[in-house]
Structures are given as structure tokens and as C-alpha cells.
Structure 1
Amino acid sequence: MHLANLSFGELEQLAPEDWLAPGVAKVGPTSIGSGEYFPERTLARWLESQHLPPVVYAFPTVGVRPLRDAYRELVRHLDIDAIVLVDGGTDILMRGDESGIGTPEEDMASLAAVAGIEGVERVVVCLGFGIDAYHGVCHAHVLENLAALDRAGGYLGALSIPSDSVEARSYLDAVAHARAETPGRTSIVNGQIAAALRGEFGNVAVSDEIAGSELFVNSLMCVYFAVDLAVLAASVHYLDCLADTETGFDVHVVIDRFRNAVTRRARRAIPH
């Protein structure tokens, strides 16, 4: 297994020898980069502390065409036979016509890039149901979209991570390590999932950066929902329009243009 991330970090600071090819870098515990925020290096350091291979690959924030080329290079370099895209939250499941779609740029760039890669198994998993309410997602729409994916043969089921498992304990340790190494940039997503794994519930304070916002930490945040990537890609109404984008800004423009033209589904409550 190999780990890779579409990065928010300042990858231009990396040494030339860290780049496998244009658009994909190999980050380790000693890689040169920002001292304030470099999540790939932070994770590599935690992996090293656990005696695991301390490598995290990183893609710059770009458009779909160069990101797809970078994925192809990584598939070739590592002889990969499957790609699993992991979303912290569930906004990667948004089709585009929902009342709110969260923060879709990186998710949709990744989805469109991998949708164009043949010859490998491709799956999307989402962890953190409820987190994207902070960014305006209606979670009744998440469930509605999962039902539509099921009808299309693309819903692969769910997997719960028990809080007393080795995997959960390792995850909590990795989150604590990242918080200690990057105190000014704590992850809202990982903070809520970690709180849910600890059995916390409701409006839990997970980060000073969102103080004053009401959160709803709950046990469903510890469930992975899995879907077939190709079926999901076919459900996103504007995904084909992203194919030739070159930059992250291009991706944003395409999504914004689509959102301004589409009739949006009204928000609805999940009945209890």
C-alpha cells in the first residue's frame, strides 16, 4: 500500500531530487518544506515512528489534465493495480445540483483525474458523515445520492472502525502527532472523526479555528461509505467539463459556472 495526497503544502520548496516527475513528489521525514504546515512530511514522520515505510507522495493543487498525468506516472512507477480515493467528509458524493456542495474543487479534480485512468481497480471511500455541514452540505442529499448510486450498481457498502481496534488507536495517535507538530493548523475533519472515535457526541470543541461554530460529532463519523469510482464519476453532472482544466482555479471556475446555471435541490431535514 502507498499513500498520496493532493496537497495544500508549498511543494515548490522541495529539493529537485524529491520529484519523481512533473506533478508528483516523494515526501519523507526529512524533506525540505514549510515548518508551519507540511502534512505529508508530518505523516511521514509519524509513519517512521511506527516503523512503517515513511513515504507519502504528493500532488500539487492543479487541474485535471496534469493531475491525471501525475497519477499515471505514479501508477507506472509503483506498479499499482488499484486506486482508492479517500474523502474526509462526504462532499465527493455531491452531483452538483444540491443546495450546498461543500468544498468540491480538490475532490472533483481527483475524481475526474482517476476516472480517466484505465487498467486499475478504482474505488472511492468517504469517512466523516456529517462533517461537511460546516461547509453547507445537506446530509439528506448525501443519503439520497448514495441511494441513487445503489440503484446504479455503484454502492459497495459501509465499514465501521471499532474504537478499541488497533487501527483506531493508531489513527488517534497519528492525529495527536499532527496536532502537536502543526499546532496552528489543526484539522477540522480529523479532529471531529477522532472525537467520535473517543465516544464524544454533539458540539465538541475540536479546533480554536472554528470556535463559535456548532458541530455535531457522532458515531456515524467513524463509518466508511464505499462506492465504485466510475459509477460515481458518471453521476456528477459537470465532471466531463473538468477534463481539460490545467489549474485549480480552472476547476473552481467550471464548478462555479455550473452552479450558477443549474436548478438546485432544496434543502431537507433528515426525519427522526
Structure 2
Amino acid sequence: MTPLHTNPLFGRLADAERILVSGAGGGFDIYAGLPLALSLLHQGREVHLANLSFSALAGLPDDAWAAPDLAVITPESAPHQRYFPERTLAQWLRGHGYPAVVHAFPQTGVQPLRAAYAALIERYDIDAVVLVDGGTDILLRGDEAGLGTPEEDLTSVAALAALEGPRHRLVVSLGFGVDAYHGVNHVQVLENIAALEREGAYLGAFSVPRTTREGALYLDAVSHAQAHTPEHPSIVNGSIAAAVRGDFGDVRFTDRTRGSELFVNPLMSLYFAFDLPGLAARCLYLDRIEDTHLMRQVQSRIAEFREDVVTRPPRGFPH
């Protein structure tokens, strides 16, 4: 039994020497894992970064590919591309003296993504994987009122759920509440977390304070990304960063949120941590996407599942 003064997530990682921190849902998801990755680096661990990518990876040269569906992104990768979160992060890492490599997976189905993860894990002899979601839709099992954008997140979960090798497979979610504009009901998210607690798969929560070294570096990294991707800044990480700074309510940091109302609040700066196999076991449609090779297959299988399932009605927070 873990003592109260020991964080369960870091307790699980105590014996891990080589850790992969990987963004589950594409875009800037890997940025949500940056505070955790930096904390592990500052403890002297060997940390590697990866991200399921929305970038145009097909144009990368042959020598950028370490294996099928596994690209190695550096600060110099694809300089002509304006939108490239993995390269932008690699540039920020180099500027702060950290290892400046971010691995990228193209959008595929479960089978090729699992093979790419296996190649990356073998490449660095990884003994722990932490899958990161910026938001909470990775925590949805399938019968909720709305699922947000689960395709990439649950493809990543499925790819790792049946992958043997690493001693630890974990999930962290940062940005509670940010998926509301995608139709996620966060009372149902809390209901799911409670169920995961009962089943022993919930590893608790902890905040990312701006007064910590990692919190300050995260704010700097998000600001750097916004400056280098002005046409398409991350709403998720912009909201999380605003919460870390102590902002509240309908905070404006990009025209992309024009016409919608944000609810930036302190819960967005909390990491919620979970055992990945335990989380995967609760997903009602994971078996349906297991044999997929293309992301559009994942999308159609989830859509078919949603046609058949009886959804739980949305619930509001008590006033």
C-alpha cells in the first residue's frame, strides 16, 4: 500500500530507467506530457518522447524513418512545413539543453501503430510507457452521451494494451473540462474515474503548479509553440497553460475559440493518472478496432458501435 506522501504515479515508475512519454491523440498532445517528462528527466531518468501526429509526415526523407510508421523528428525536420508540433517541440527542447528528438507516428489503425510502438520500445529498451491525453476523452468507455474525438486516443490505447514488454503501461490525462466544446459530459468522466478507482486502475491526481520548475518550463514551451504556430495554436494546451497561470473563465488566447465559451479553471492543471490495461479493459468497443489498419476503419467501427449502444443520459453538476 502506497503511503500518502508518495505519489502513486511516480511510485509506479520508481524502478523504470528508460521511459517513453507519448501523446495519444495527435496534434499538440505531447505537450501535455511535457511537465511529467521534464520531471523524470530532472530525476536523472532516460526519457524519450513520441506523438501520434497530425503533421504531414509522408514528405519526410527516407532517413527520417527508424521503422515503418515511426519517424524521428529533429529541429531541422521539414523546414518548409508551417504546422509541425513535433518539430516545434524539438526546437524548444534544443533551446533549453534537453535531448531534441520527438518521434512521430502517422495516423493509422491499431495494428500498424502497435508495430511502430514495438519498434520504438525495442530501439531504446523502454521499460515504462506513459500515454498522455490533453483532455479527457481517453477516459470514455463508449456509452457516454458524447465521446469527443476518441479515434486517435483509443487507437493508441488499443495499440499498447496488447503490447507486451514494458513493465509499466500508464495513462495520464491533463486538461479536465477542455473537451466540453467537443460534447464531453464531465460528470460522466468523473463517474468513469470513480469506477476505475473501484477497480484499482486509478492512480490519483496531482497539479502542475506554475511555481515549479516543470510548470514554468511548460508555460514557456506552450508560449513558444503559440508563437511558432500562430495560424493553428493548441486550444487544449493554451487552456491548460491559462489554468496553470491561475486564469479563470472564458480566457481568450486565439481567434480559433471565437464564438464559443471556454471555462478555464484550476482542474485543468491536474494530472489524472491510470493503469493502461485497467483503462483499456473498460472500453466497450476496443475489440471492434483491434484488427484495423487505417484510421478511417477506426472511425467507422466506432460509429457502428454508437449506432447499437444504449447511451447514458448526460448529467449536470449539482448547483
TM-score of the two chains, using structure 2 as the length reference: 0.84
Aligned residues: 272
CA distance in 2, matches of 1:34, 1:62: 24
CA contact (8 A) 1:14 1:33 kept: no
Aligned: 1:190 with 2:237? yes
| Counterpart position of 1:76 | 122
**Which secondary structure state, in structure 1, belongs to the residue aligned with residue 246 of structure 2?**
coil
Q: Equivalents in 2 of 1:3, 1:148: separation in Å?
A: 30
Deviation at residue 119 of structure 1 after TM alignment: 2.4
Please show how residues 75-224 of structure 1 align to structure 2 within 5 Å. 75-120=121-166, 121-224=168-271
The runs of 5 or more residues in structure 1 that have no matched partner are none
Letter of the aligned partner of 2:240 in structure 1? Answer: I
Equivalent in the alignment of 1:257: 304
CA contact (8 A) 1:154 1:227 kept: yes
The counterpart of 2:56, out of the listed 3, 6, 10, is 10
Structure 2 portions without partners, runs of 5+: 1-46
Separation of aligned partners in 1, 2:139 and 2:80: 32
Q: Secondary structure at the match of 2:114?
A: helix
Q: Which residue of 1 aligns with 2:84?
A: 38
Determine if the alignment matches structure 1 residue 21 to structure 2 residue 90: no
Following TM superposition, the consecutive aligned residue runs of length 4 or more in structure 1 with deviations greater than 4 angstroms are: none
Cα distance in 2 between the residues matched to 1:148 and 1:34: 47
Deviation at 1:154, TM superposition (A): 0.5
TM-score (norm: length of structure 1): 0.99
Per-residue CA distance 1:160-207 (angstroms, 9 max, x = gap): 111211111100110111111111010010110011111110011132
The 1:34/1:144 distance shift into structure 2, 3 A limit, reads farther
Judge conservation of contact 1:11–1:33 (CA < 8 Å) in 2: no
User: What do residues 206-245 of structure 1 show as CA deviations (whole Å, max 9, x unaligned)?
Assistant: 3211201011000000000001100100000000111110
Instruction: Specify the alignment match of 1:56 in structure 2.
Output: 102
Aligned partners of 1:14, 1:41: CA distance in 2, in Å?
Answer: 12
Deviation string 1:86-116 (CA, Å, 9 cap, x unpaired) is 0000100000000011000110000000001
SS in 1 for 2:272: strand
Contact 1:13 1:33 in 2 (8 A): no
Separation in 2, partners of 1:150, 1:179: 36
Q: Distance in 2 between matches of 1:33 and 1:97?
A: 43
1:266 counterpart = 2:313? yes
